[in-house]
């Protein structure tokens, strides 16, 4: 039973997501923006190629003003991390602190996350190393698996693996665990290994992990969930089509899944604010049409 159904759920509070929210809110769509405070734009001290500013402006100031604009127009903005997405009659977006339902979704999580810094990891991709618990968890029933990560996303992925095996270790690769209160209670379910990883070993298939202190540990599979959830990784579990590392989209900024749109750096088009803002607006138009069609069906 869904208590609250949004018309538009936007994952990402960078220029792409906020631009989309401005349009959907003005079109009277009940809009929720979900985002961590990690836009690429925070790193930009001085921007002087974005339209409408005579003098350079900081990325932070653009982001803050954009959010205020979207809030004034009626969008809701929450700080949370999306870790999963599903589609039945409507979309459900699973976050660390709750789940949200929507008629349409925009994926605007920025550029794909950097790869985990583990030597040789690519050599075992598809041969023991996986980025998708939903796709590959089944192959590791009752086997010994690891999750490479140190934050909430890794715990989420480890929890997904519990339906296949109880033999799960979280490998943090020397990082301190950074788990939010909502997920801490699950930590007893897994082992945690905080040693720095030197590399992976195995013949045709992954057999284990070598650590910098000279020790090793056997592992049948290693699921990568390093850092926070890249919207791209969890969307792939839904069968979203990719174009290399980027989300594939049509002229309406819609992905291959009806009602699921995308915009910004995750599309791999010229990674600039103006492009993110323009794609956000285009996606909003598609979402508005999609929601009106859905409402018309009722």
The minimum distance between CB 115 and ligand FAD, in angstroms, equals 16
Kindly indicate which of the ranges 32-40, 69-77, 156-164, 180-188 contains the residues binding ligand FAD, using the contact rule CB under 6 A. Answer: 32-40
Residue 26 or 271: the one with the smaller Cβ distance to ligand FAD is: 271
Q: Does 43 bind ligand FAD (CB under 6 A)?
A: yes
Q: Does 173 bind ligand FAD (CB under 6 A)?
A: no
Residue 109 or 137: the one with the smaller Cβ distance to ligand FAD is: 109
Residue 113 or 170: the one with the smaller Cβ distance to ligand FAD is: 113
Of residues 66, 84, 102, 110, which one binds ligand FAD by CB under 6 A?
A: 110
Instruction: Give the Cα separation of 67 and 279 in Å (integer).
Output: 17
Instruction: Give the Cα separation of 152 and 228 in Å (integer).
Output: 7
Of residues 39, 133, 169, 255, which one binds ligand FAD by CB under 6 A?
A: 39
Q: Does 14 bind ligand FAD (CB under 6 A)?
A: yes
Which one, of 79, 45, 74, lies nearest residue 62 by Cα?
45
Of residues 10, 70, 77, 82, which one binds ligand FAD by CB under 6 A?
A: 82
Residue 16 or 209: the one with the smaller Cβ distance to ligand FAD is: 16
Which one, of 235, 10, 246, lies nearest residue 108 by Cα?
10
Q: Does 278 bind ligand FAD (CB under 6 A)?
A: no
Instruction: Give the Cα separation of 11 and 82 in Å (integer).
Output: 7
Number of Cβ atoms within 10 Å of the Cβ of 108: 34
For residue 273, the SS3 value is helix
Q: Does 49 bind ligand FAD (CB under 6 A)?
A: yes
Residue 81 or 157: the one with the smaller Cβ distance to ligand FAD is: 81
Site for ligand FAD in 256-275 (CB under 6 A): 264-265, 271-274
Of residues 81, 136, 152, 160, which one binds ligand FAD by CB under 6 A?
A: 81
Q: Does 70 bind ligand FAD (CB under 6 A)?
A: no
Of residues 5, 47, 159, 177, which one binds ligand FAD by CB under 6 A?
A: 47
Q: Does 149 bind ligand FAD (CB under 6 A)?
A: no
The per-residue b/e assignment along 190-222, b for 16 or more CB within 10 angstroms, e otherwise, is beebebebbebebeeebebbbbeeeeebebbbb
Of residues 26, 36, 60, 87, which one binds ligand FAD by CB under 6 A?
A: 36
Give the strand pairing for 91-95 and 82-87. antiparallel
Please compute, for residue 203, the number of CA atoms within 13 A of its CA located in the half-sphere on the CB side: 0
Number of residues in the chain: 298
Distance of CA 217 to the CA centre of its chain: 29
The minimum distance between CB 65 and ligand FAD, in angstroms, equals 14
User: In terms of C-beta distances under 8 Å and separation of at least 24 residues, what long-range contacts does 71-77 make, across chains too?
Assistant: 73/21, 73/22, 73/25, 73/26, 74/25, 74/31, 75/21, 75/22, 75/24, 75/25, 75/31, 75/32, 75/33, 76/31, 76/32, 76/33, 77/13, 77/21, 77/32, 77/33, 77/35
Of residues 5, 26, 44, 192, which one binds ligand FAD by CB under 6 A?
A: 44
Binding site for ligand FAD (CB under 6 A): 11-17, 34-36, 38-41, 43-44, 47, 49-50, 81-82, 108-110, 228-229, 231, 264-265, 271-274, 276
């Amino acid at each position: 039973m869904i208590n609250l159904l949004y018309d538009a759920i936007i994952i990402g509070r960078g220029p792409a997501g906020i631009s989309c929210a401005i349009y959907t809110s003005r079109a009277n769509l009940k809009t929720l923006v979900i985002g961590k405070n990690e836009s690429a734009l925070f790193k930009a001290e001085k921007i002087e190629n974005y339209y409408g500013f005579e003098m350079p402006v900081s990325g932070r100031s653009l982001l803050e003003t954009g959010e205020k604009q979207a809030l004034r127009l009626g969008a809701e903005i929450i700080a949370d991390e999306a870790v999963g997405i599903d589609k039945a009659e409507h979309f459900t977006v699973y976050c660390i602190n709750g789940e949200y339902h929507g008629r349409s979704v925009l994926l605007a999580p920025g550029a794909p996350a950097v790869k985990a810094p583990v030597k040789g990891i690519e050599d075992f991709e598809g041969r023991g190393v996986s980025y998708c618990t939903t796709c590959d968890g089944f192959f590791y029933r009752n086997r010994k698996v690891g999750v490479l990560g140190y934050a909430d996303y890794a715990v989420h992925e480890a929890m997904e693996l519990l339906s296949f095996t109880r033999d799960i270790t979280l490998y943090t690769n020397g990082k301190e665990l950074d788990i939010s209160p909502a997920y801490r209670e699950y930590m007893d379910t897994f082992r945690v290994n905080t040693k720095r990883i030197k590399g992976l070993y195995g013949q045709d298939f992954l057999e284990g992990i070598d650590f910098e202190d000279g020790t090793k540990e056997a592992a049948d599979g290693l699921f990568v969930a390093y850092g926070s959830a890249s919207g791209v990784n969890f969307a792939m579990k839904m069968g979203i089509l990719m174009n290399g590392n980027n989300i594939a989209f049509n002229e309406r900024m819609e992905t291959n899944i009806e009602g699921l749109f995308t915009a910004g750096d995750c599309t791999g088009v010229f990674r600039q604010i103006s492009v993110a803002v323009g794609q956000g607006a285009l996606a909003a138009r598609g979402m508005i049409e999609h929601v009106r069609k859905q409402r018309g069906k009722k």
